[in-house]
């Protein structure tokens, strides 16, 4: 189970300000703090904090300042593929591109770029028309992404299918469909593509967000979830990820498994 | 294992005509993968694609049977702890037809004598490989006949000359020998000979590319009873080949390699040869042809084979009979435990460390630990009393004390009543046996 730390995102005030003022401190603070929490990758997203025309430069800057303090690999999160490419050019370790929907035009832009920079791709099970409600259509989009990976020569382990979880308070019926999608995605290819969720979405604007997040995380891992973009500093949540790993016989049990999980 | 959507999609024509009732080939592939559609509804799928899809659902490595109950192949994993290895490596001893009649007789005698009894199990060698080295077809036929008459074990007949092989094989066809070797030069004659006699045949080529080529050509002759030989004779190369062949067959369902593999030892020194064979037993050889037939060389190899092919999900058990530690006498203490090997050996090790000669009786609990057996009703006073009776312990010691594990102290009353012996509750953990023995048995 891979944890992609979500905190370096321009939607948060401190990161937004850091981007506007070119102040590396808050970004570096969260890079270190998330790594200590148990993150395996750091998601990097400028958000709308800075104007579109400055994003290419911003991504290059963010990657550089993060790499000054952390050796974790990065997940470059943007809809602006030029900005992602600028980031990929300066990444020291193979990164992951977040993300590419099942649309031919975007596949043609993203997959060759992933191959060129030895990067992974998060593939979204949606197209221009939006997010499907049922698992069947989600899986159909996943299949298109799998076929694209095969066509472009992207290793299946480098393709992360994101079946797109939505907030449970307004889109409750999606949650079980996403679980079913996670199960089925594993049967699309052998070796199977990996799976990822933007976990915190499930609890947007609900009370007890942490409880919802960790309950859903455990359920999703049981259905085959390999990675989550999540709060790496929610200790209870990281404990759930570590415990699920043990209960699925993916890591060898030791009494100190919670500590072991965080130390690698 | 069912086919994945991607594997099916690759075999489809990709016309996206919708005639199957599904809008795109990709969607049709997914419908097939989930069992919601049948391949017949696609009018454009080729015969080759149909065959590829059919064979992909077959087991990854074909089972090849020959001789006297020899089964090769039919394995599903790369590591035994993932599930288990099913069919123990068939061990064959090599007999050259260049030997004199007397030497052939002697060798067959020696091979027949390779029978072992160890820890309650019986081992015997599986077969004999008759190798055509004389260059004389009549000699090969004669030696094959002599070997067949001298033993009822499985036979492997090895000659690269189809005519010589035919002469040797035909009279022995009812024994269903494994034959070889089909190579790029002779494969048509060899495979057809095997097909006519319904016996499996070894395909031999130098290296995996050539073997792939040969396997595809041989399959095209309409026969599928094959055993593969990647030609290498150096241990390091053979290890690599065995690993690649097993991996490709299982992980990639690569059909030309979906057959068991035979390995040949090459080291002239028997001790080196057994080390070499040990590697092949551990790393996926379904059959091994050996030179040495000395008991001292063969026993460790057969023991290794036995150990590797046990099912790791099933607990390993010790024989549920009276065991002794040290030079026991009529005053020796008497311990009870279970026949789960982990439990038994923990106890035995600690009892040994007390330096007091002792008796240990492992009760047959189907190989479960003390608490597991107790919870499952397999470690009850009645059963222990019966086992004691059967073990004859009463005639071996003059005291009447039974030491039981501390965790089952609760059975002491009933066990005492049933046996008339005094039940001494030992420590809960075997690590406490030493201090227990010092204070109680001094």
CA-CA-CA-CA torsion sign (B29, B34, B39, B41):
negative
CB contact under 8 A, B33 and A187: yes
Q: Which residues contact A212 (CB under 8 A, 6 or more apart)?
A: A168, A202, A203, A206
Does position B194 have pLDDT exceeding 90, yes or no? yes
Per residue in B95-121, pLDDT (tens digit) is 999 999 999 999 999 999 999 987 667
- Return the beta strands (E) in A1-134 as ranges: 2-5, 41-44, 74-77, 96-101, 120-124
Instruction: Please report the pLDDT score of residue A47 as a whole number.
Output: 86
CB contact under 8 A, A188 and B33: yes
More confident residue, B2 or B177: B177
pTM for the whole structure: 0.78
CB atoms within 10 A of CB B280: 24
Q: H or E segment at A155?
A: none
Question: How many beta-carbon contacts under 8 Å exist across A and B?
Answer: 40
CB contact under 8 A, B4 and A144: no
Per residue in A150-162, pLDDT (tens digit) is 999 999 999 999 9
Is the CB of B7 inside 8 Å of chain A's CB atoms? yes
Does position B132 have pLDDT exceeding 80, yes or no? yes
Nearest CA in chain A to B7: A189
How far apart CA A53 and CA B404 sit, in angstroms, is: 80
The fraction of chain A above a pLDDT of 90, given in percent, is: 93
B390 alpha-carbon distance from chain centroid: 34
Is the CB of B2 inside 8 Å of chain A's CB atoms? yes
Is the CB of B27 inside 8 Å of chain A's CB atoms? yes
Name every chain A residue with its beta carbon within 8 A of the beta carbon of B4. 187-190, 192
Tell me the average pLDDT across B364-389: 94
Q: Which of B1, B6, B34 sits opposite A147 (nearest CB)?
A: B6
Q: Which of A139, A144, A190 sits opposite B4 (nearest CB)?
A: A190
* Confidence band, pLDDT 50/70/90 cuts, at residue B441: confident
CB contact under 8 A, A189 and B4: yes
Instruction: Please report the pLDDT score of residue B1 as a whole number.
Output: 45
Rounded to whole angstroms, what are the CA distances from A173 to A176, A211, B35, B44, B219? 7, 19, 25, 39, 52
CA-CA-CA-CA torsion sign (B17, B19, B24, B29):
negative
Per residue in B47-64, pLDDT (tens digit) is 877 776 776 667 899 999
Is the CB of A181 inside 8 Å of chain B's CB atoms? no
Per residue in B249-306, pLDDT (tens digit) is 999 888 899 999 999 999 999 999 999 999 999 999 999 999 999 999 999 999 999 9
The fraction of chain B above a pLDDT of 70, given in percent, is: 98
Is the CB of B9 inside 8 Å of chain A's CB atoms? yes
Tell me the average pLDDT across A116-121: 98
Exposed/middle/buried for residue B225 (C-beta within 10 Å: 0-12, 13-18, 19+): middle
CB contact under 8 A, A189 and B29: no
Asked whether B282 and B238 are in contact (CB, 8 A), the reply is no
How far apart CA B176 and CA B158 sit, in angstroms, is: 14
Tell me the average pLDDT across B17-45: 85
Mutate to test the interface with A, among B1, B4, B27, B313 (most CBs of A within 10 A): B4
A223 alpha-carbon distance from chain centroid: 17
Instruction: Please report the pLDDT score of residue A187 as a whole number.
Output: 87
* Confidence band, pLDDT 50/70/90 cuts, at residue B122: confident
Instruction: Please report the pLDDT score of residue B295 as a whole number.
Output: 95
Exposed/middle/buried for residue A243 (C-beta within 10 Å: 0-12, 13-18, 19+): middle
Tell me the average pLDDT across B315-326: 91
Q: Which of B2, B5, B251 sits opposite A143 (nearest CB)?
A: B5
- Return the beta strands (E) in B234-322 as ranges: 262-264, 287-290
Name every chain B residue with its beta carbon within 8 A of the beta carbon of A188. 4-6, 30, 33
Does position A115 have pLDDT exceeding 70, yes or no? yes
Tokens for B10, please give them.
Answer: 């690759």
Instruction: Please report the pLDDT score of residue B120 as a whole number.
Output: 67
Does position B193 have pLDDT exceeding 90, yes or no? yes
The mean pLDDT of chain A is 95
Does position B397 have pLDDT exceeding 60, yes or no? yes
Nearest to B53 by CA among B318, B331, B253: B253
Is the CB of A188 inside 8 Å of chain B's CB atoms? yes
Q: Which residues pair with B404 in a beta bridge?
A: B425
Instruction: Please report the pLDDT score of residue B442 as a whole number.
Output: 66
CB contact under 8 A, A140 and B4: no
- Cα angle B102, B105, B110; round to 5: 125
Does position B224 have pLDDT exceeding 60, yes or no? yes
Instruction: Please report the pLDDT score of residue A162 as a whole number.
Output: 98
Is the CB of A144 inside 8 Å of chain B's CB atoms? yes
């Amino acid at each position: 189970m891979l944890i992609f730390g979500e905190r370096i995102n321009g939607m948060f005030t401190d990161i937004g300000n850091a981007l506007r003022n070119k102040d590396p401190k808050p970004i570096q603070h969260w890079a270190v703090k998330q790594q200590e929490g148990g993150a395996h990758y750091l998601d990097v997203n400028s958000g709308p904090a800075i104007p579109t025309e400055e994003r290419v430069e911003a991504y290059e800057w963010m990657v550089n300042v993060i790499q000054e303090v952390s050796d974790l690999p990065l997940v470059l999160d943007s809809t602006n593929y030029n900005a992602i490419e600028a980031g990929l050019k300066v990444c020291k370790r193979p990164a992951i591109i977040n993300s590419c929907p099942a649309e031919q035009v975007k596949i043609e832009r993203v997959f060759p770029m992933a191959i060129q920079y030895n990067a992974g791709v998060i593939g979204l099970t949606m197209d221009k028309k939006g997010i499907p409600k049922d698992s069947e259509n989600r899986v159909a989009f996943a299949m298109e992404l799998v076929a694209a990976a095969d066509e472009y020569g992207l290793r299946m382990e480098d393709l992360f299918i994101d079946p797109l979880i939505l907030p449970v308070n307004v889109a409750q019926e999606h949650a079980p469909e996403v679980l079913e999608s996670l199960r089925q995605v594993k049967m699309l290819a052998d070796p199977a593509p990996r799976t990822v969720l933007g976990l915190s979405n499930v609890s947007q604007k609900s009370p007890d967000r942490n409880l919802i997040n960790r309950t859903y995380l455990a359920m999703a891992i049981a259905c085959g979830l390999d990675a989550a973009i999540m709060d790496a500093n929610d200790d209870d949540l990281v404990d759930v990820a570590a415990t699920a790993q043990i209960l699925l016989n993916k890591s060898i049990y030791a009494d100190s498994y919670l500590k072991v999980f965080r130390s690698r | 294992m069912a086919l994945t959507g991607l594997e099916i999609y690759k075999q489809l024509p990709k016309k996206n005509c919708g005639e199957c009732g599904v809008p795109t080939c990709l969607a049709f592939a997914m419908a097939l993968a989930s069992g919601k559609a049948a391949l017949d509804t696609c009018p454009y799928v080729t015969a080759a694609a149909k065959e590829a899809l059919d064979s992909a659902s077959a087991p990854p490595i074909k089972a090849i049977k020959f001789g006297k109950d020899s089964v090769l192949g039919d394995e599903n994993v790369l590591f035994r702890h993932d599930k288990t290895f099913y069919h123990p490596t068939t061990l064959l001893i090599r007999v050259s037809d260049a030997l004199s009649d007397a030497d052939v007789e002697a060798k067959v005698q020696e091979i027949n004598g390779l029978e072992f009894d160890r820890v309650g199990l019986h081992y015997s060698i599986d077969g004999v490989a008759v190798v055509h080295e004389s260059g004389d077809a009549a000699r090969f036929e004669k030696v094959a006949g002599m070997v067949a008459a001298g033993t009822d074990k499985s036979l492997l007949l090895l000659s690269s000359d189809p005519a010589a092989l035919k002469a040797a094989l035909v009279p022995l066809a009812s024994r269903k020998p494994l034959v070889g070797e089909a190579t790029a030069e002779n494969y048509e004659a060899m495979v057809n000979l095997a097909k006519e006699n319904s016996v499996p045949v070894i395909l031999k080529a130098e290296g995996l590319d050539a073997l792939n080529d040969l396997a595809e050509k041989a399959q095209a002759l309409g026969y599928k009873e094959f055993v593969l030989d990647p030609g290498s004779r150096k241990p390091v190369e053979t290890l690599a080949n065995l690993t690649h062949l097993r991996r490709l067959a299982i992980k990639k369902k690569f059909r030309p390699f979906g057959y068991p593999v035979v390995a040949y030892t090459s080291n002239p020194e028997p001790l080196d040869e057994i080390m070499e064979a040990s590697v092949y037993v551990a790393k996926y050889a379904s059959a091994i042809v050996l030179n040495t037939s000395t008991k001292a060389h063969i026993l460790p190899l057969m023991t290794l084979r036995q150990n590797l092919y046990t099912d790791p999900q099933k607990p390993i058990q010790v024989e549920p009979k009276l065991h002794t530690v040290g030079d026991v006498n009529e005053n020796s203490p008497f311990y009870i435990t279970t026949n789960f090997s982990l439990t038994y050996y923990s106890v035995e090790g600690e009892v040994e460390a007390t330096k007091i000669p002792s008796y240990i009786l492992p009760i047959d609990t189907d190989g479960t630990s003390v608490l597991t057996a107790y919870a499952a009703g397999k470690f009850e006073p009645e059963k222990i009393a019966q086992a004691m009776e059967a073990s004859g312990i009463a005639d071996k010691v003059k005291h009447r004390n039974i030491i039981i594990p501390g965790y089952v102290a609760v059975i002491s009353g009933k066990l005492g009543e049933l046996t008339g012996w005094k039940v001494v509750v030992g420590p809960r953990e075997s690590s406490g046996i030493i201090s227990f023995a010092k204070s109680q048995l001094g």
